[in-house]
Amino acid sequence: QSALTQPASVSGSPGQSITISCTGTSSDVGSYNLVSWYQQYPGKAPKLMIYEGSKRPSGVSNRFSGSKSGNTASLTISGLQAEDEADYYCCSYAGSSTFGVFGGGTKLTVL
């Protein structure tokens, strides 16, 4: 069982928006502004999409955005495109004892 909780799957049609939630606790997501999101295609290494909760690395489409409220972080993808179909993982710093925790991952299907 993963430390952070994500929905196993989400889906949307091209052009629509979807949001993936990532629920932790006051010991991880709720305590630090260190939530990051990763996109992973089958057989490939993950790619950073969002860091520090809402910042987007250079080269990542502005259709991807992140936010946080309390113990829950969220990734929103607007204007869905076929190429967005992938697995998405959230990750948070969890203090020096646990250090790092991932969500179980969410499979995004573009209908």
Partner 1 sequence: QVQLVESGGGVVQPGGSLRLSCAASGFTFSIYGMHWVRQAPGKGLEWVAFIQYDGSNKYYADSVKGRFTISRDNSKNTLYLQMNSLRAEDTAVYYCAKDGLRYSFVLNWFDPWGQGTLVTVSS
Give which of 96, 104, 87, 101 is closest to 25, Cα–Cα.
101
Query: What is the C-alpha to C-alpha distance for residues 33 and 38, in angstroms, rounded to an integer?
Result: 16
Binding mask 58-87 for partner 1 (x = CB under 8 A): ------------------------------
Q: What residue type is 106 in one-letter code? A: T
Give which of 13, 4, 11, 20 is closest to 71, Cα–Cα.
4
Q: Could you say which of 52, 79, 109, 111 contacts partner 1 (CB under 8 A)?
A: 52
In the DSSP assignment, the letter for residue 63 is T
Is 47 an interacting residue with respect to partner 1 (CB under 8 A)? yes
Binding mask 6-45 for partner 1 (x = CB under 8 A): --------------------------x-x-x-x-x----x
Binding residue count for partner 1, defined by CB under 8 A? 27
Give which of 109, 2, 18, 24 is closest to 70, Cα–Cα.
24
Q: Give the number of other Cβ atoms within 10 Å of residue 11's Cβ.
A: 13
In terms of CB distance, is 8 or 82 closer to partner 1?
Answer: 8
Q: Could you say which of 48, 63, 76, 78 contacts partner 1 (CB under 8 A)?
A: 48
Enumerate binding residues for partner 1 (CB under 8 A): 2, 32, 34, 36, 38, 40, 45-48, 51-52, 57, 89, 91-94, 96, 98-105
